[in-house]
Structure 1
Amino acid sequence: MQLTLLDVKLTKEVKRQAEKLMSRYKMYEAIIESKKMDLEPKLVASYQGSESQRGNQFYSEPEKIALTEIELDEYTRTLRKLDLVYNSLRPMQQRIWDRRYLLDQQDIDVYSDLVIPDRTYYRLKREMIAVVAEAFGIMAD
């Protein structure tokens, strides 16, 4: 099973989506904390004027809270999946992920800094992207 997963050809769209998730890995913690802060009750009572009708939209504070909680759950689930994938990778793949997607270095700089051949680098990177794509169900059929 693992060998067939890693030998799979990645389309540009699958690769783009997986790399987008990988590059946002560290941002998810900040987003989650921000959403939690939005859910905290406001201690100061304030007057807030409201229009009688907001253009044909229904709006209520409980609805806003419920939507924020749904977003928070989704971000938390995404972060947990990324944590699992990241921690399951080989140490060299983790270093590639860190340098390429979190520090935004170019490919040539990454494999030069890590002192590995470019073929090995691209193989490890392709395997890593395939694992992320599989974990998030974005693999091409």
Structure 2
Amino acid sequence: MQLAFLNTNLSKETKRKTEKIMSRYKNLEAIIESKKLDLQPKMTVNYQASESQRGNQFYSETEKLALLEMEIEDYVIIKRKLDLVYDSLKPVQQKIWDERYILGRFDSDVYLDLEIPDRTYYRLKKEMIATVADALGYIETEIKMLAE
């Protein structure tokens, strides 16, 4: 049985989505915690008109809280996946992730500081992005879209 090698040829859309998530990696914990604070019951009196008074639209505070809990759960799953991928990367790829996506530095600055050739840098970066995209299920989505 052969191992299937990771496809590093990603569409621009998949690459863009993956890089966006990678750049938010360090902020995910803060986002999760702030959303958990929104779940806390409010003890102050609210004098605003209720949502049910705006029209015939259905509105429920319980429904809103349930949707917020599901959103938090999604963020937690993404954070766990990114933690696993980040920890499994080569140390140089972790440095690339930190420098490029967390600190927002330019590619040329990163590979010059790491003292690696630009071809090696872009190969490592491409592998890293493909690994993250695969972990988040973006490659499977891309394959389904191409099959249709």
TM-score by length of 2: 0.86
Gaps of 5+ in 2: 144-148
The DSSP-based 3-state class of the residue aligned with 1:26 is helix
Q: 1:112 to 1:44 in 2, by over 3 A?
A: same
The residue number in structure 2 matching 1:114 is 114
The DSSP-based 3-state class of the residue aligned with 2:126 is helix
Is 1:94 matched up with 2:64?
A: no
Q: 1:55 to 1:129 in 2, by over 3 A?
A: same
- Taking the TM superposition and a 5 Å limit, the aligned residue runs for 1:50-89 are 50=50, 53-89=53-89
> In the aligned structure 2, how far is the partner of 1:14 from the partner of 1:111?
23
TM-score by length of 1: 0.90
- C-alpha root-mean-square deviation of aligned residues, in Å? 1.6
The residue number in structure 1 matching 2:146 is none
> In the aligned structure 1, how far is the partner of 2:52 from the partner of 2:105?
52
> In the aligned structure 1, how far is the partner of 2:61 from the partner of 2:132?
36
Identical counterparts, % of pairs: 63
> In the aligned structure 1, how far is the partner of 2:104 from the partner of 2:33?
23
Is 1:135 matched up with 2:141?
A: no
> In the aligned structure 2, how far is the partner of 1:46 from the partner of 1:33?
24
Partner deviation per Cα, 1:91-137 (whole Å, 9 max, x = no partner): 10000000000000000000001111101101100100010111111
> In the aligned structure 2, how far is the partner of 1:52 from the partner of 1:77?
33
> In the aligned structure 2, how far is the partner of 1:51 from the partner of 1:127?
48
> In the aligned structure 2, how far is the partner of 1:90 from the partner of 1:74?
26
Question: Is the 8 Å Cα contact of residues 35 and 72 (structure 2) preserved in structure 1?
Answer: yes
- Provide the aligned length of Structure 1 versus Structure 2: 139
> In the aligned structure 2, how far is the partner of 1:28 from the partner of 1:107?
23
Residue type of the partner of 2:92?
M
The residue number in structure 1 matching 2:43 is 43
Per-residue deviation at 1:138? 1.1
